[in-house]
Chain A
Amino acid sequence: MTRATLVRANLGRHKRRTILTVLGLGIALFLFVTLQTFLHTLRSVGEIGSETRLVVTNKLGIVFPPPLAYRARLQAVDGVESVGYASWFGGIYQDPSNFFANFAVDPEYLAMYPEIVVSPEHREAFMADRTGAVVGVRLLDRFGWQVGQTVTLRGTIYPGDHDFTIRGVYSAGRKGFDETSMFFHHRYLEEIARSQGMDGVVGWYVLKVSDPDEAPAIAEAIDKTYENSSSPTRTQTDKAFNLSFIGMYGNIGFFLNAIGMAVVFAILMVSANTIAMSARERFAEVAVLKTLGFSDGDVLRIVVAEAASIVGLGLLLGLGGAFLLFNVMDFDMGGFAPGLTVSPGVALVASGAAALIAIASAAIPAWQAARLKVTDALRYVA
């Protein structure tokens, strides 16, 4: 028998109530960790972009593609080493719930992204096949595909069923980089687009600049060149481009944080009520403990330990569940949020939130129990 035995025995007093409270805390903390992880991953994506790459899009937005004819003129701009381009294809594999990003890219594009690591054999095989595709390793695993397999995507922008042969697999050359996309030849897209009268344009250009310090001047020069054209451009760093995607969600950081705080606050109320109820029911026992010689501090520590145990179990459930789901099972919300990983930072924030819940929940009942006058409590019970 130790003090821990007493705490454990008290937790087992109303098993159903304890289990439900732990489950409630677990689910709330799981939700909190998931929201924070999603937010953290979004921010990480924004951080991934390179300062030596510039992205050129239509000034009006990515849905208005600039002409393919810009390529040669962009290549001629001073300070630009190479030009690549890509277009969003928007193909669906079997069912919309199987969503994943699929892009048409020119050969230069992949070369400009050292983050996309493809073996020389796979790169060669991809280059040699007009309908070839390179897919991320997580995407390959997700659908159990194999190299050499033909997959059919149903076009949403370019109607019809389109076949692609997987010729290569890429992995991320940098932590946090997406491994769930598919790249195929832009010239194949142009064939598809030509038959539908949508050829001659690209989604965006990517420029590699020789000196990152010159990037702002180059960007300004390009945008000035096309200022009065039918397709004015917006040139920004790769990083800014990625962040603008996140910006499309609106102030998602504030939104997710607000939901997270609301979840924590709601569960704090539930937890505080449960712990207060549990402590109040046992005032007579607290009086007995004090009669036996337990000090106010001893009693306070017992109530706090009980609250900490409940919240700790909830944290284990919520944080452990999220870790298992995202870090071990690689759950990506059906392809909507690939690369979700519970980071040590998020785990620390969740632990902090749990500690806050435990302290705030236990504060009043622990104080009341510690201050309880034995004679009053015994008289009340009698």
Chain B
Amino acid sequence: MPLVEVRDVRKVYRRDTVEVPVLDGLNLDIEEGEFLALMGPSGSGKSTLLNLLAGLDSPTSGTVRVGGEEISSMKPKRLAAWRARHVGFVFQMYNLIPVLTALQNVELPLLLTPLNKKQRREHAETALRIVGLEDRMHHFPRQLSGGQEQRVAIARAIVTDPTLILADEPTGDLDARSAEEILDLLSRLNAEYGKTIVMVTHDPHAAERARRVLHLEKGALVDGAARPVAAGATAAAGAANAGEVAR
């Protein structure tokens, strides 16, 4: 059974009296441990699909199920709690809280868990160690480079050991070297820790790092766009490492 099941999803935005269809009867399965890249031109519906998978938006019709739970019909409060437990989100612009240190930014999602203060700190330190920033944990975002900020954002996304890591153009605002570091990190999270990753990108080079690439155009997946899973570590192998952060 796939981890993510998207069935006949339509999403229509209403602008004044005009209805703008963004996703049109989309179907998609994502297996646990996959690293999936979503590509497509601007306005093709990539980010909208990512938001639906994150439970940040709801489809006009159709269903989205993650781990067997139908999130498309959840009430906002339950959806927020679901998101806290199951989704790690990486933004293009990092979106760290500027008045919190790297460690505090990473700890932020843990405020929604039953962990105590000491446990929260330990988990956040582990996550920062995984992204290689243990020596920058007391730095504020303004004291970090773009690549380091994005690594902190990734640490924040993995600290709760979520079911899904969703990345919206994670390398879109970075130079080539930093982008490479971030892609290495995402690949490692997928390969070593078995994390399921869905990444939206415009960059074909970034998409190459995924095991499967899907193309969206005008709200629909383009036939034959899917590329087979690339050779490399399997999800099963990576799954052995999963949960280290949360432990």
Which residues on A are within 8 Å of B, measured CB to CB?
A: 1-3, 5-6, 9-10, 12-13, 284-285, 288-298, 374-375, 378, 381-382
Contact flag A295-B117 (CB < 8 Å), given A288-B91, A375-B51, A382-B93:
no
Please determine whether A293 and B85 come into contact, CB atoms closer than 8 angstroms. Answer: yes
In Å, the complex CA distance between A234 and B24 comes to: 94
Which residues on B are within 8 Å of A, measured CB to CB?
A: 51, 54, 56-57, 76-77, 80-85, 87, 89, 91-93, 95, 97-100, 103-104, 107-109, 111-112, 117, 120-121, 124, 156
Interfacial chain B residues near A294, Cβ < 8 Å = 80, 84, 112
Please determine whether B81 and A293 come into contact, CB atoms closer than 8 angstroms. Answer: yes
Interfacial chain B residues near A297, Cβ < 8 Å = 77
Of chain A, the residue at the smallest CB distance from B159 is A292
In Å, the complex CA distance between A3 and B124 comes to: 16
B6 to chain A, nearest CB (A): 17
In Å, the complex CA distance between A381 and B98 comes to: 15
Of chain A, the residue at the smallest CB distance from B157 is A292
Please determine whether B99 and A1 come into contact, CB atoms closer than 8 angstroms. Answer: no
Of chain B, the residue at the smallest CB distance from A1 is B107
Contact of B80 among A1, A285, A295, A378 (CB under 8 A): A295
Please determine whether B76 and A296 come into contact, CB atoms closer than 8 angstroms. Answer: yes
Of chain A, the residue at the smallest CB distance from B78 is A295
B58 to chain A, nearest CB (A): 10
Of chain A, the residue at the smallest CB distance from B56 is A374
Please determine whether A9 and B91 come into contact, CB atoms closer than 8 angstroms. Answer: no
Contact of B84 among A1, A6, A285, A292 (CB under 8 A): A292
In Å, the complex CA distance between A54 and B222 comes to: 102
Contact flag A1-B77 (CB < 8 Å), given A375-B51, A375-B57:
no
Contact flag A1-B57 (CB < 8 Å), given A9-B97, A295-B77:
no
Of chain A, the residue at the smallest CB distance from B92 is A382
Interfacial chain B residues near A288, Cβ < 8 Å = 91, 95, 97
Please determine whether A292 and B112 come into contact, CB atoms closer than 8 angstroms. Answer: yes
Interfacial chain A residues near B76, Cβ < 8 Å = 295-296
Interfacial chain A residues near B124, Cβ < 8 Å = 1
13 A-B residue pairings within 8 Å (CB atoms): A3-B111, A13-B99, A288-B91, A290-B80, A291-B54, A291-B56, A293-B81, A293-B83, A293-B109, A295-B77, A295-B81, A296-B76, A297-B77
Contact flag A292-B108 (CB < 8 Å), given A10-B99, A13-B99, A382-B92:
yes
A6-B111, A290-B56, A298-B112 are known; give 6 further A-B pairs, CB within 8 A.
A1-B103, A1-B108, A1-B111, A3-B111, A6-B100, A295-B76
Of chain A, the residue at the smallest CB distance from B94 is A288
Contact flag A1-B120 (CB < 8 Å), given A290-B80, A378-B91:
yes
B190 to chain A, nearest CB (A): 21
A380 to chain B, nearest CB (A): 12
Interfacial chain A residues near B91, Cβ < 8 Å = 288, 378
B127 to chain A, nearest CB (A): 13
Please determine whether A293 and B104 come into contact, CB atoms closer than 8 angstroms. Answer: no
In Å, the complex CA distance between A6 and B111 comes to: 10
In Å, the complex CA distance between A5 and B121 comes to: 13
Contact flag A291-B92 (CB < 8 Å), given A6-B100, A9-B100, A296-B77:
no
Interfacial chain B residues near A381, Cβ < 8 Å = 93
Contact of A292 among B82, B89, B93, B100 (CB under 8 A): B89
